[in-house]
Amino acid sequence: MSATQIRLSGPQFDFVTAEEQFPAFVGGFGSGKTYAAISRAISKKLQYPGQNVAYYLPTYDLVRTMGFPRFTESLATMGLKYKLNKSDAVIEVGSFGSIVFRTMDTPERIIAYEVADSLVDELDTLPVDKARDVWNKIIGRNRQKKPDGSLNTVAVATTPEGFRFVYNRWQKSPAPGYRLIEAPTESNAKNLPEGYIQSLRDSYPTALLAAYLDGKFVNLASGSVYPEFKRNEHASGDIILAGETLHVGMDFNVQKMAAVIFVLRKGEPHAVQEYTGVLDTPAMIALLKSRHPDHPVMVYPDASGNSRRSNGASESDIALLKQARFQVCVNPSNPAVKDRVLAVNAMLKAGRLGVNLDRCPSLVEAFEQQAYDKNGEPDKSSGHDHVVDAAGYFIAYKFPIVRPGRAVVVETGFH
């Protein structure tokens, strides 16, 4: 078989060919992190056909929706035969052996297999302690000997998420063998849609652009969670009109259920009513039906409501909403908290989100006062989280942060 080689950006090439034991590709949105990681994984597989490669993602949903299709597409483009076994989460690459997929959501399950090289995608999205645990578990799996005696490697490709595990391990106090490769979004501009970089500049606060555009470690956990909210800029006088469709963001919590009702004006959302401190899901359903009997209702709930029961009944919270004949709009899992927060801040910054200050006082207070806790997560101790989470589920579903798709030119010759 003739060798198939691909075009890579400078940072991607440095990462794919890095000889250090622990290289990390830290890049902004659209910098080609996952493509670089996949390319390195396939390169290692072809280099050492007698040994296996592991590829780690935060959740199985990402393995299924991103890992499998992206790998099979790359292998097919390179002219490599493969067999995908979804039940075992393994891809057999012709006569070159296996690429195994594992998740990082349950570190204690990273057991009972051995590989020679590993790739870890979006490690920095995990809390620091969990990321450290996952990292140590992964290193423990990397023990297949290579025929040339070279080191087993674990490579990371991630967005910088503030001063967390990747910052501490690769930039603040790097040990021998740790190499940091920074990749700004601009380094992959030729593969991005026209105007994508400018859209990031228009959507994100300045502090976040350093991380998500330049690929730098910056403090993402200081000050307000929603710094883009300004009372005078986002105040809306809109109210619910007769018969119009109500879009209801909903957060499930026993005795602390919250809902925020939005209406659309020229396609843009306006928060016009809130309900907080409601007992449980049946009580929230009864409240919505009694207060808004002549309106179509679309509910955008916490996705965990598919399995949880805020009222102790046999039906799940979301099943109860469907039984009430509400239209339920929900994905299989919630977006990452940071993506939900970013979606809300992006709408606020663009001036596309209005709030009726009189009818949504708790939401206004949450926007103004919710801060980050010591772990860099939105603080829950103040009670502001319920109502702002409810609003965020609707915004993240209806107006999500859009990441670029991949556009890669495959040709002969690394360069």
Residues 163 and 246 in one domain: no
- State the chain's mean pLDDT as an integer: 90
Residue 415: pLDDT band by 50, 70, 90 thresholds?
Answer: very low
CA distance 167 to 158: 11
Task: Kindly report the CATH number assigned to the domain that includes residue 289.
Answer: 3.30.420.280
- The pLDDT of residue 409: 35
Number of Cα atoms under 13 Å in the Cβ half of residue 171: 15
Residue with tokens 């920095």: 124
Q: How many residues does the chain have?
A: 415
Whether residue 1 lies inside any domain: the answer is no
- The pLDDT of residue 203: 77
Residues 273 and 179 in one domain: no
Task: Kindly report the CATH number assigned to the domain that includes residue 120.
Answer: 3.40.50.300
Residues 137 and 240 in one domain: no
Residues 22 and 130 in one domain: yes
Instruction: Dump pLDDT digits (tens) for 366-396.
Output: 999 898 887 778 989 888 899 999 999 999 9
Residues 168 and 31 in one domain: yes
Residue 118 has pLDDT above 60, yes or no: yes
Residues 137 and 262 in one domain: no
Residues 15 and 138 in one domain: yes
Whether residue 63 lies inside any domain: the answer is yes
- The pLDDT of residue 313: 45
Residue 346 has pLDDT above 60, yes or no: yes
Q: 174, 197, 220: which is the final residue of a domain? A: 197
Whether residue 207 lies inside any domain: the answer is no
Count of Cβ atoms closer than 10 Å to residue 195 Cβ: 9
Q: Characterize the bridge pairing of strands 268-278 and 257-265.
A: antiparallel
CA distance 153 to 57: 17
What is the average pLDDT across 273-283? 96
- Distance spanning both ends of the chain, measured CA to CA: 21
The whole domain housing 185 covers: 10-197
Residue 138 has pLDDT above 70, yes or no: yes
Whether residue 181 lies inside any domain: the answer is yes
Whether residue 209 lies inside any domain: the answer is no
Buried b (16+ CB within 10 A) or exposed e, 216-252: ebbebbeeebbbbbeeeebebebebeeeeebbbbbbb
Take residue 315 and report the two structure tokens written for it: 């039906």
Residues 325 and 244 in one domain: yes
Whether residue 404 lies inside any domain: the answer is no
Instruction: Dump pLDDT digits (tens) for 152-190.
Output: 999 999 999 888 899 999 998 899 999 999 999 999 999
Residues 116 and 260 in one domain: no
Residues 253 and 180 in one domain: no
Whether residue 405 lies inside any domain: the answer is no
Residues 45 and 164 in one domain: yes
Structural domains in the chain (count): 2
Angle at 133 between CA 128 and CA 134, to 5 degrees: 95
Residues 245 and 378 in one domain: yes
pTM score > 0.85 for this model? no
Whether residue 349 lies inside any domain: the answer is yes
Instruction: Dump pLDDT digits (tens) for 302-345.
Output: 998 666 555 544 468 999 999 999 999 999 888 889 889 999 99
